[in-house]
Amino acid sequence: MARNGLFVSGLVLLMCFIPFAALSNSEVVIAGVEATFPPWAWVEKGVFKGIAVDAVREIAKIEGINLRFQEMPWQSLIPSLAAGKIDLVVTAVSVTEERAKVLDFTIPWWEINRVVLVRKDSDLNGITALCCGATVGGQGGSTDFEWVKRELAPKLGLKLKEFEDPVMAVADLEAGRVDSVVIDSDTGDKLAAEHPNLRIAARFYAYPPEPYALPVAKGDPKGLLPKLNRGIMELYESGKWAEIVHKYIPGATILPIPTYMPRYVDSYQHPIPGLED
């Protein structure tokens, strides 16, 4: 019995250290990437591109992470991460209280607002595009579309159309199958610039700010948070972060990192992994 007790105690002690020692430099970290969310992450002719993609590539070089990207639709990214099927999500991920219950997050590196897209030949404005029976499209599972569903649709009689990705939503907007599309401001700005028949009807600023951060599975089983946090700070302090952002959003204001983070994020309590000093 004593031997068994010692064995169990030793096993428990060993398991306590596994999350921090499980990831060796040779182990592959699988990063799920959303295929159609410019300027943060997308796939073009088999090549992964975007702010988040380029930044994580640089962090992998700095921290010696053996990284492999895996293209996935947005709706499956967070469930796959929470279930341990992938190790990291690389796209624009808003930090929310619901997500923080099943995921941990790096330090926040961006803050986002949302915009309303309409056709340029439409007479809709920021009010009429979101009221009075208008058909509003958006990406299913995004904080932008959830905001419309929760805050606007029940009060303003909206008809909603949910899409797998923003590119599909914009295609329906151009075809006249929806009256407007609500989307994050970075992606909305880029899509409006790429589609001359679309315009931005309104811009909404969230308070408190809505931060972006990189999520890992709850408890950080691969010990990625310290490496990711150190890498983010090195990119920011070296100026490489600004270079990457301006490659995709010329002239964008570079916010100080870390940006705002809600108190409910467990992985952002002091000491912050990787930034203990």
Verify cis geometry, omega within 30 degrees of 0, for the bond prior to 211. Answer: no
pLDDT(139) > 50: yes
Are 20 and 107 in the same domain?
Answer: yes
Instruction: Determine the structural domain holding residue 105 and report its residue range.
Output: 16-111+211-268
In a domain, 182, yes or no: yes
Residue 33, both tokens: 């990437």
* Whether residue 186 sits in one domain with residue 228: no
Same domain, 107 and 228: yes
CATH assignment of the domain containing 173 = 3.40.190.10
The whole model's pTM is what? 0.84
Predicted local distance difference test score (pLDDT) of residue 269: 83
pLDDT, residue 24, reads 54
Structural contact between residues 224 and 105, judged by C-beta atoms closer than 8 angstroms: no
Q: Has residue 6 been placed in a domain? A: no
Number of domains making up the chain:
2
Higher pLDDT: 110 or 8? It is 110
Of 72-81, 212-221, 246-255, 267-276, least confident by mean pLDDT is: 267-276
**Whole-number pLDDT of residue 206:** 84
For the stretch 67-120, pLDDT in tens is 999 999 999 999 999 999 999 999 999 999 999 999 999 999 999 999 999 999
